Structure 1
Amino acid sequence: MTTITCRNLTTGIHEQAITRGIDLKLVPGTITALTGPSGCGKTTLLHTIGLLLTPTAGTVTIDGIDATGWNQRQRRAFWRDKAAFILQDYGIMDEETVNFNVSMQLNTLGLAVGGDHRRIRNALRLTGLASRGNELASHLSGGEKQRLGIARAIYKNASVILADEPTASLDADNRANIIRLLRERANQGATIILATHDPVLVSACDQVYRVGEPDSK
């Protein structure tokens, strides 16, 4: 289980500040929505919390340790050991199979999908992709790729899940299923942070942070 704390955080790209003075605590067992209109900086904030971007001021601490100045090796260890990302550009390897995209592992010979095949099948079953495991990921629709990203997080049993608009391409039934799965992950102790403008998803969250608005916590 992982706690992330932002203190007086300023985020930006190419030294241009986008959000300022953010104080936010993200704790195990909860889902937090970062919400606001397009262009408000919620995706930049999400990426900064996940250590994909370095803040221009303030700190991000992980389990009480200041991670703001971590080097690339330390960040990679966090991504490998604790975090799973579900991003709008999917992070999916189109030329590989759906099964491989869940485990991101090859077997010892490097010739077939590695990892725990039972857990791969279970993750795909939970996300409605059970019949697609041997297909190339390029055959999936946008919504299916988003669900594949969630299957990867389930397989990994990540303690931190960071998702950018995870329901944007989903119909009502699949959206309800993804919200249910995210809630189950939170109930099992994951810390979940979502950038979203989906009011249904926002209403299912435990904490809502309106990016760019004062006193938004």
Structure 2
Amino acid sequence: MIEAENLEVEKGGSLVLSVASFTAEVGAVTGLIGPSGCGKSTMLNCLGLLERVDRGTLRIDGMDLTRPSNAQRGKFWKDRAAFVFQDYGIIEDWTAQENILLRKTGRFSRTRGKSSVYEALDFVGLTGRGNETASYLSGGEKQRLSIARTLHKKASYIFADEPTASLDTENRRRVIDLLTACAASGATVIVATHDEDMMRACDTTYDLRQ
């Protein structure tokens, strides 16, 4: 569970985020909604320990991480958190499997002990694409590949920033279904979005205009 109280962030002397109370439950999709510029990405980055807050309290599983040490942030990113971004976060000249593992590996097959990578690819509808260079994938396929990376990591917390933006209807639906499946499997999923279909798939939404 992630909880925040009286969270505030200032940039350039201006208040860009002010949230009185926020909770993201385990096994649920929590949406951050509102128009562009209302602070959705800033809030998501603060919850994921990518940005520091100026005031308030942030707790993850009961631990106060309002001002985490570098060691605490690094451990959280390495062991527990995964990020899905609008620009996919994919390394174009790496293969799909290398993007999942975040390291160069060369070619391999299921019989060489990498079945978990292929299971993740199967789950997101990219069966047989593990050795394909990521630059040959479509935008929707790259976004699904980024979700496959979170599945392989078995992240407890998934932070998604406009994950369905610029995707066609079919791929938007696929990505939404994949994120809700991650939550159903026990992850805490937090999504910043202005996509109405994504909003409807959320268990709880927070309108940052309020």
TM over 0.5: yes
Mapping 1:130-149, distance limit 5 Å: 130-149=127-146
Give the superposition deviation at 1:94: 2.0
Deviations 1:43-84 (Å, cap 9, x if unpaired)?
111011100000111121111111121122210100111111
Measured after TM superposition, the shift of residue 178 of structure 1 is 2.0
Report the CA distance shift for 1:203/1:183 in structure 2 as closer, same or farther (over 3 A).
same
Deviation at 1:135, TM superposition (A): 2.1
Corresponding residue for 1:63? 61
Q: Where does residue 21 of structure 2 map in the other structure?
A: 23
Which letter maps to 2:85?
A: L
How far does residue 177 in structure 1 lie from its aligned partner after superposition?
A: 2.1
AA partner of residue 149 (structure 2): R
1:76-103 per-residue CA deviation (whole Å, 9 max, x = no partner) reads: 1001111110012322222321101112
Instruction: Pick from 166, 170, 173 the counterpart of residue 170 of structure 2.
Output: 173
Q: How far apart are 1:21 and its partner, in Å?
A: 3.4
Q: Which residue of 2 aligns with 1:36?
A: 34
Instruction: State the match for 2:151 in structure 1.
Output: 154
Shift of 1:124: 1.2
Q: Displacement, 1:11? A: 2.5
Give the TM-score, by structure 2 length: 0.90
Query: What amino acid maps onto 1:161 in structure 2?
Result: I
Match of 2:180 in 1: 183
- Matched pairs, number: 208
The counterpart of 1:125, out of the listed 118, 122, 127, is 122
Correspondence for 2:88: 90
Q: Quick one: structure 1 residues 116 and 64, their matched pair in 2 at CA, closer, same or farther if it must change by over 3 Å?
A: farther
Distance 1:36 1:120, change over 3 A: same
* Percent identity for Structure 1 against Structure 2: 45
State the superposition RMSD in angstroms.
2.1
Q: Given the two structures, how large is their TM-score scaled by the length of structure 1?
A: 0.88
Moved more, 14-23 or 160-169: 14-23
